[in-house]
Structure 1
Amino acid sequence: MTMSRLAALGREEPSLLALAQRLLTVAELGLPAMLLPGKEAFAFTMAARRAPDGSWALDRRGTSTRYAAITALGVRFLPEDRQRAALGGRTAQEFTGLLVESLPGVTNLGDAALIAWAAAETGHPKLSDAVARVEALDAYDKPQYTVEAAWVLSAYAAARDTVDVERRFTSARDRLLKARIGTGPLFPHATAPGLLPWYRAHVSCFADQTYPLQALALAHASGDGDDEALAASEACATRICELQGDGGQWWWHYDARTGGVIEGYPVYSVHQHAMAPTALFDLTDAGGSDFGAAIRKGLRWMTEVSEFSEHPDVREPLILDELGVTWRKVYRGDPKKAVRAVRGLTTRALPGLRLASLDRVYRPLSVDRECRPYEFGWMLHAWQGGRI
């Protein structure tokens, strides 16, 4: 099971198999350092700083419940001894148990949904408690952020065989499908008006696409088949693949009304090596199309971005094997994210408008030197997961 996606990659492009294996080694090296000593939790981020000798050193900053749950979702695919190495001596199920025990203090719907999803996937005996917390925090008569609504559906899809979630499952599935604007294939940033200011209600991000398409694919696969859910997942996946950059970039901001790109940067490493692959693989496993070419193109960016390729964004390594990190993103470095703000405002009035001068003035030459544990959680989920 755990080699199927890697084996397919090796058949298609052997050099990329070596890259994927290298990245997975980095992930297993990096995760233990991201675990907070004595707190049984993961840091929000590992931020780089220059050491006196000019090398990079890393500092743990913050704590993240959702990142811990995503990490458990990925680490569960490792053999038990490697799960324990990554999770401070615990298996993925045992670590998820700590998260389940923390649920009474969890007030964020997305955090609770991810914990319930991890509980379902690891077979935790208190899954019903986790599901109950999601139900208590959700409100179907109010708008929710699309990413969190997608995680709710994924959690219910994973729990269907164990806990009676059918009524909630149907509501979560319908909410996600109805969130789309008109007949467009892409998803907005929120499931309904009310959460966002009017001038950016049309702007959605890459995560707003991958998590819903994954959730709907999982919903289809979890029961007797759901053609509408699968078709919506397929349409979204097809569109983001059509929009993929020439260098394999998965772009960041989209117009949910028109299905076009508003602003491409930043380009995030996690999208290239983990989030796009895990969502597209799950769709293929559910009966969707084969998006392997786009996955390989996106993965290739992780090295070509820094090796003087035809489409480089920056010329600096993004994979630091010895530190156990991949640098988080390549971005423009524009003050106060000016390019994204301008393009969000202008496309509100004139969909499709692009001010080319912004690309010339603010080139994507900056690197965000930090790394977050969920990046490795989804990487493990993408490349170690999958069906036989």
Structure 2
Amino acid sequence: MTAGPADASPPADASRPAAPVTDPARLRRLGAADGAARDVIAGLLGQAVRGLPRMRHNQSGPFVFTMRGEPEGPTASGDATRHRAVPAGRSLRYAAIVALGARLLPPDEQRAALGGQSAAELTGTLLPRLAATGPDAVTSLGDIALVAWAAAETGHDGLPQALRRLAAADRPGRGAVYTVDAAWVASALAAARDAGADPAAEHLERSRRRLLDGLRGRALYTHEVGGRGLVPRYRAHVGCFADQVYPVQALARLGDGEAVAAADRVAAAICAAQGPGGQWWWHYDARTGGVVEGYPVYSVHQHAMAPMALLDLAEAGGADHLGAIARGVGWLAAPPETGEPLMPGDPVMTWRKVARRDPRKAVRGARAATTLLRPGWRAAALDRAFPPGAVDRECRPYELGWLLYSWLEDHA
């Protein structure tokens, strides 16, 4: 991803009706468990389709890195501040995630959401980046995997080249890789297999085994698998929420009994640790499954990433965690940490997170160090000194992409 001034597309017509995706099977399931949670997701789906055109870096380029909320003035009642969303940066990674989600929209809605392109055409603009050299070379294994994944799911004829680039980037003996990247590799290869592209059997099995071995002897995933050396020792026992849900999703999509059983164990642990307000916490002790530090709590975890992984798991034959999904969605509607709503409406869908006001992520660092010495050690004084409540007024394109991907997928 590259930071820099954004030449964003003109705002789309906010009065345009929401996408005709009012009753996908997953949303019906959520509604049967919790009607209020269903209404939250249905509203966000419509906002995502309206909001995506505003997040293009330009009409033919990738998506911006973020939309930042800048104060614009008080509301009519004078009791709050309005914010306008200002685009910044650009991101290949986020564009690939948007393509994955937008693929599930009807063709006319894809083009409305993607500035006239289909999801496959958007993917086609990303594929040449994988062949770039020099300063424009894509070196992130996760980015390469996401583009290959998007090529598989959009049916793009550039998939074979993307798979070759992925294999070159993920050669045997590579050593430690970030857990999220390893999960995206497995998901991309599983998607290629399911699309009939026949990825290299050795690469698919190696990616599967890397995830399974990364969990061996632990309750949850740490931040790296396949070796050590990417993470400082004081936090080598810590895994974040993303380190859990992306492997759950990948293992579920691989689909064999051993993989689904491993995904079940991880899902059960994070659901057991879920907060009383439905919070999906951020940092875990991979040795025990306990929470190291809960904040920040991210909106995308609540409405998209947890549902995406847990619904995939249930549909692969694993446990059903629909109640936990509904509680997570409910947190968005009424986060107890702040009186400020996290769903401000157009032009952004949700504000990014609720965090502590601690300088330089001091609480997370301190708790990683103390739990290394004694699992479960919490130093309650840190909660009193740095209570949660700071709202990060950003919205990133991948949040919209994963929302669409989570709820419009239909295995029914």
Given the two structures, how large is their TM-score scaled by the length of structure 2?
Answer: 0.89
Aligned to 2:329: 299
Decide whether the 8 Å contact of 1:159 with 1:165 is kept in 2: no
Pick from 120, 123, 126: which aligns with 2:152? 120
Q: Report how far residue 87 of structure 1 moved.
A: 1.1
1:306-385 superposed matches below 5 A? 312-385=336-409
Q: Report how far residue 302 of structure 1 moved.
A: 0.5
Decide whether the 8 Å contact of 1:282 with 1:386 is kept in 2: no
Aligned to 1:96: 123
Separation (CA, whole Å) in 1 of partners of 2:73 and 2:392: 20
Aligned to 2:224: 190
Q: Report how far residue 227 of structure 1 moved.
A: 1.3
Aligned to 1:16: 37
Aligned residues: 376
Q: Report how far residue 379 of structure 1 moved.
A: 0.5
Unmatched runs of 5 consecutive residues or more in structure 2: 1-20, 75-80, 133-137
Residue 30 (structure 1) aligned with residue 51 (structure 2): yes
Decide whether the 8 Å contact of 1:265 with 1:331 is kept in 2: yes
Amino acid in the other structure paired with 1:189: H
Separation (CA, whole Å) in 2 of partners of 1:259 and 1:14: 31
Separation (CA, whole Å) in 1 of partners of 2:142 and 2:241: 17
What secondary structure is seen at the aligned counterpart in 2 of 1:195?
coil
Q: Which moved more, 1:133-142 or 1:51-60?
A: 51-60
Decide whether the 8 Å contact of 1:277 with 1:382 is kept in 2: yes
| RMSD, aligned CA | 1.3
Aligned to 1:199: 234
Q: Report how far residue 230 of structure 1 moved.
A: 0.7
Aligned to 2:213: 178
Residue 77 (structure 1) aligned with residue 104 (structure 2): yes
Separation (CA, whole Å) in 2 of partners of 1:4 and 1:282: 13
Q: Report how far residue 112 of structure 1 moved.
A: 0.6
Decide whether the 8 Å contact of 1:29 with 1:324 is kept in 2: no
Residue 151 (structure 1) aligned with residue 184 (structure 2): yes
Q: Which moved more, 1:290-299 or 1:316-325?
A: 316-325
Q: Report how far residue 94 of structure 1 moved.
A: 1.1
What secondary structure is seen at the aligned counterpart in 1 of 2:340?
coil
Amino acid in the other structure paired with 1:301: W
Residue 130 (structure 1) aligned with residue 162 (structure 2): yes
Decide whether the 8 Å contact of 2:98 with 2:398 is kept in 1: yes
Aligned to 2:285: 255
Task: Report runs of 4+ in structure 1 exceeding 3 Å deviation.
Answer: none
Separation (CA, whole Å) in 1 of partners of 2:406 and 2:306: 9
Pick from 79, 83, 86: which aligns with 1:59? 86
Aligned to 2:299: 269
Aligned to 2:308: 278
Pick from 94, 103, 111: which aligns with 2:143? 111
Q: Report how far residue 376 of structure 1 moved.
A: 0.7
Amino acid in the other structure paired with 2:102: V
Aligned to 1:163: 198
Aligned to 2:63: 42
What secondary structure is seen at the aligned counterpart in 2 of 1:82?
helix
Separation (CA, whole Å) in 2 of partners of 1:355 and 1:46: 35
Amino acid in the other structure paired with 1:146: T
Q: Which moved more, 1:346-355 or 1:33-42?
A: 33-42
**What is the aligned-residue identity percentage?**
51
Decide whether the 8 Å contact of 2:126 with 2:147 is kept in 1: yes
Q: Report how far residue 38 of structure 1 moved.
A: 4.1
Q: Report how far residue 39 of structure 1 moved.
A: 4.7
Decide whether the 8 Å contact of 2:334 with 2:341 is kept in 1: no
Q: String of CA shifts for 1:273-314, please: whole Å, max 9, x gaps.
A: 000000101111111111100000000000121xxxxxx111
Aligned to 1:223: none
Q: Report how far residue 360 of structure 1 moved.
A: 1.3
Decide whether the 8 Å contact of 1:262 with 1:344 is kept in 2: yes
Amino acid in the other structure paired with 2:377: L
What secondary structure is seen at the aligned counterpart in 2 of 1:324?
coil
Q: Report how far residue 324 of structure 1 moved.
A: 2.8
Decide whether the 8 Å contact of 1:281 with 1:386 is kept in 2: no
Separation (CA, whole Å) in 1 of partners of 2:110 and 2:198: 26
Aligned to 1:236: 266
Decide whether the 8 Å contact of 2:33 with 2:323 is kept in 1: no
Q: String of CA shifts for 1:153-199, please: whole Å, max 9, x gaps.
A: 0000011121332110000011111112x422311100121111111
Q: Which moved more, 1:128-137 or 1:10-19?
A: 10-19
Separation (CA, whole Å) in 2 of partners of 1:227 and 1:46: 41
Separation (CA, whole Å) in 1 of partners of 2:410 and 2:60: 31
